Amino acid sequence: MKLVAVTSCPTGIAHTYMAAEALESVARKKGINIKVETQGSIGVENQLTEGDIEDAHVVIIAAGTNISKERFSEKTVLEIPITEAIKDPEGIIEKAINLEPKIKKLNKEAEEINKKEISVSTGPYKHLMTGVSFMLPLVVAGGLIIALSFIFGIDAFQQEGTLAAALMQIGGGAAFTLMVPVLAGYIAYSIAERPGLAPGLIGGMLATVIGAGFLGGIIAGFVAGYTVSYLNKVIKLPKAMEGLKPVLILPLLSTLTVGLLMTYVIGLPLKSIMDGLTSWLQRLSGTNAMLFGGILGSMMAFDMGGPINKAAYTFAIGLGSSNIFQPQAVVMAAGMTPPLGLALATVLFKKKFTKDEIETGKAAWIMGMSFITEGVIPFAVADPLRVVPSIVMGSAVTGALSMMFDVTLRAPHGGVFILPIPNAVGNLGGYLISIIIGTIITALLVGFFKKKAV
Amino acid sequence: MEIKDILKPSLMILDLKANNKASVVEELIKPLVVEGIVKEEKVFLKVVMDREEQSTTGIGMGIAIPHGKSSMVTTPSIVFGKSKTGIEYEALDGKPSHIFFLIAVPEDSKEEHLKVLSQLSRKLMNSEIRAKLLNATTAEDVINSFD
């Protein structure tokens, strides 16, 4: 049995280490293998590796401060006040041993590869993704609630005082208005931490008000974040006044910078780009629309959850914030067909896959239906030159068809499980046809290219 | 650098007079002020007491380790204090505290100092070392407890 723990306390001078020692010595006595990471004044020591966490039965977090739990999302976590670890280490170890470990969900391999990709992403890409991940719940909640208001008729919300009007107010009035500010706010937060949030939110709000949309929001977020971290570096205050920096000086100066830049310099050009993009997309029809859908769709499949996939996805939900919902339909459908196509291929062409792959194919059905593009990664890793072109073609066809049928999707998340929500999808029949055809094309191409499994 | 290097006889009070939490912290800070290690007594006292507000540093087993990080501190230091009668220090186990380590750290401390402090904290979890400290009557005894 192996346990891992993290200890951390407010000043990081004493408790962090005492708790670590207490847990280690009890574990030693009981013959249990434990590794304790200390997050104290010296910084992180004895850092837990991915392997440590993977092998651990349970994770113990003994902290008097906030520590990030993202690393442990796959684990059962026992969270306790740090003083408990000092007072009663025996009881805690006992409790940890008796907890049920979490069983790893879905397809292990795919998730690991996916995780690696996230951990290597740094710099602007990481900041953008942080913003997008905080914005996404607003998109989903807002989009679906607006869809619900359409149950009462497409114009029902115009009648004041009705439930339809209330739903529109919640989804459109509140959730959608917050989207771009939250995107900008959390881009800045990712760059400059807490002091970045205020100027980022404000810059994003200005982008919304001006009409600069998600492009304005992204730029506002980056300007805010980098401005704050620059100011934080250059402004030196006497010790006595240092407390003023995070609450007064940084927010004031950075908000002024971002606000004035948005209002007088970059806001209007961005608005015209955004307006141009919007009207171009609205006028898109026929071949051009299909070409657009094909490109966006192939981007979703090309790196299966990597930067190009996320760029296409971000672009689509950004346009959702400007009330253009076709691209959202394209990206979700095109993100579903790669795992679905491979799953179908494992059924149609059993001889071309190993036993393990056929098993993985079963999980790929579920991942595909849930819009987890990463479900295709185990297949792509095993045979990239044959699998990647096939899924790119399949997704391109799906994207093109989705545009041709003029499908709209109000919340690009949840896969097939959001399809039954009334009005979430415009032209549901067309959408299903697009996804099914893309899946079949992917499967046939894979079957055609792939050699017999040995 | 070892724990011994940071324990100084001039920073030890082998017979604490105080009888409550606030006054024992004040008493422990005094030698730091005399030695010129703490510049502003009041400010540092507040830092330490604020830390206590967050959660008590009376870790039980007769031991308390009040501590503070402040720009008012010039060098990382430890004041050792011992109370015969024991002092009510809101300890985790509810019992009076006899052994005190007041840890004072400057805002920008060197890593080696912090390492020593983390070693000290770890050693205090060892019951043998605690027993030696409780029986210590001279500065030398205190220092030798960590051997």
- For residue A156, what pLDDT band results from cuts at 50, 70 and 90? confident
d(CA A84, CA A255): 42
Q: Which CATH number is A51's domain given?
A: 3.40.50.2300
Mark whether A149 and A229 lie in a shared domain: yes
Mark whether A136 and A179 lie in a shared domain: yes
Mark whether A363 and A394 lie in a shared domain: yes
| Domains defined along chain B, listed by start | 3-142 (3.40.930.10)
Mark whether A412 and A327 lie in a shared domain: yes
Taking any CB pair shorter than 8 Å as contact, residues of chain B touching chain A are 51, 54-57, 59-60, 65, 67-69, 71, 92-93, 103, 105, 109, 111, 114-115, 117-119, 121-126
Q: Measured between beta carbons, which residues in chain B are less than 8 angstroms from residue A81? A: 55
User: A14 and B121: CB-CB below 8 Å?
Assistant: yes
d(CA A409, CA A183): 20
Q: Is the pLDDT of residue A422 over 60?
A: yes
Burial bucket for residue A100 (CB in 10 Å: 0-12, 13-18, 19+) = exposed
Question: How many Cα atoms sit within 13 Å of A194 on the Cβ side?
Answer: 4
d(CA B72, CA B53): 20
Name the domain count of chain A.
Answer: 3
d(CA B37, CA A271): 59
According to DSSP, the residues that pair with A78 across neighbouring strands are A60
DSSP three-state, residue A306 = coil
- Residue A289 C-alpha, separation from nearest chain B C-alpha, in angstroms: 60
| Cα B134 from chain centroid (whole Å) | 14
Segment (H or E) for A154? none
And the tokens for B23?
């006054």
Structural domain contains residue A327: yes
Mark whether A318 and A228 lie in a shared domain: no
Structural domain contains residue A114: no
Structural domain contains residue A231: yes
Please give the residue of chain B at the shortest CA–CA distance from A43: B111
Secondary structure, 3-state, A57-70: CCEEEEECCCCCCH
Does A22 reach chain B within 8 Å, measured CB to CB? yes
Structural domain contains residue A112: no
Q: What pLDDT does A112 receive? A: 57
Q: What pLDDT does A182 receive? A: 95
Q: Is the pLDDT of residue A372 over 90?
A: no
Mark whether A83 and A128 lie in a shared domain: no
Q: Is the pLDDT of residue B6 over 70?
A: yes
Q: What pLDDT does A108 receive? A: 56
Residue count of chain A: 454
d(CA A91, CA A27): 11
Q: Could you say which of A281, A315, A338 is where a domain stops?
A: A281
Does A452 reach chain B within 8 Å, measured CB to CB? no
And the tokens for B29?
């800070």
pLDDT digits (tens, 9 = 90+) for A55-94: 888 999 998 777 777 788 888 889 888 888 888 899 999 9
Tell me if A172 sits within 8 A of A146, measured CB to CB.
yes
Structural domain contains residue A395: yes
pLDDT digits (tens, 9 = 90+) for B110-140: 777 788 788 888 888 888 898 999 888 898 8
DSSP three-state, residue A2 = strand
And the tokens for B52?
């206590």
**Which range marks the domain in which residue A190 is found?**
122-281
Query: Which of A7, A17, A24, A26 is the mutation pick for testing B, counting most B CBs within 10 A?
Result: A17
DSSP three-state, residue A38 = strand
User: B125 and A82: CB-CB below 8 Å?
Assistant: no
- A9 part of the active site: yes
User: B67 and A14: CB-CB below 8 Å?
Assistant: yes
Mark whether A425 and A314 lie in a shared domain: yes
Structural domain contains residue A107: no
Write out residues 144-183 of A within 8 Å (CB-CB) of B.
Answer: none
Mark whether A399 and A440 lie in a shared domain: yes
Q: What pLDDT does A119 receive? A: 47
Residue carrying structure tokens 């008012």: B72
In order, the DSSP letters of chain B are: --HHHH--GGGEESS----SHHHHHHHHHHHHHHTTSBS-HHHHHHHHHHHHHHS--EEETTEE--EEE-TTBSS-EEEEEEEEEEE----TTSPPEEEEEEEEE-TT--HHHHHHHHHHHHHTT-HHHHHHHHH--SHHHHHHTT-
pLDDT digits (tens, 9 = 90+) for A282-341: 787 788 899 999 999 999 998 887 778 888 888 898 888 788 899 999 999 999 999 999
- Residue A248 C-alpha, separation from nearest chain B C-alpha, in angstroms: 21
Q: Measured between beta carbons, which residues in chain B are less than 8 angstroms from residue A13? A: 67, 69, 103, 105, 114, 117-118, 121
Q: Measured between beta carbons, which residues in chain B are less than 8 angstroms from residue A25? A: 125-126
And the tokens for A331?
């990206």
Structural domain contains residue A432: yes
d(CA A251, CA A273): 29
User: B54 and A16: CB-CB below 8 Å?
Assistant: no
In this complex, which of A16, A42, A64 lies closest to B115 when CB atoms are compared? A42
Q: What pLDDT does B13 receive? A: 93
Structural domain contains residue A192: yes
pLDDT digits (tens, 9 = 90+) for B29-71: 999 999 999 988 999 999 999 888 888 888 888 999 999 888 8
Q: Could you say which of A234, A253, A281 is where a domain stops?
A: A281
User: A13 and B60: CB-CB below 8 Å?
Assistant: no
* β-bridge pairing A59-63 and A2-8: parallel
Q: What pLDDT does A170 receive? A: 93
User: A11 and B59: CB-CB below 8 Å?
Assistant: no
d(CA B113, CA B2): 9
Mark whether A170 and A27 lie in a shared domain: no
Mark whether A256 and A146 lie in a shared domain: yes
- Helices in A150-266 by DSSP H: which ranges? 163-168, 176-192, 194-210, 213-234, 244, 250-260
Q: Could you say which of A281, A314, A330 is where a domain stops?
A: A281
- φ, ψ of residue B86 to 5 degrees: the values are 90, 145
- Residue A17 C-alpha, separation from nearest chain B C-alpha, in angstroms: 6
User: B54 and A64: CB-CB below 8 Å?
Assistant: yes
Mark whether A133 and A262 lie in a shared domain: yes
User: B67 and A22: CB-CB below 8 Å?
Assistant: no
Query: Which of A58, A52, A54 lies closest to A99 in space, CA to CA?
Result: A58
- Residue A83 C-alpha, separation from nearest chain B C-alpha, in angstroms: 7
Does A18 reach chain B within 8 Å, measured CB to CB? yes
- Residue A9 C-alpha, separation from nearest chain B C-alpha, in angstroms: 10
In this complex, which of B54, B57, B111 lies closest to A14 when CB atoms are compared? B57
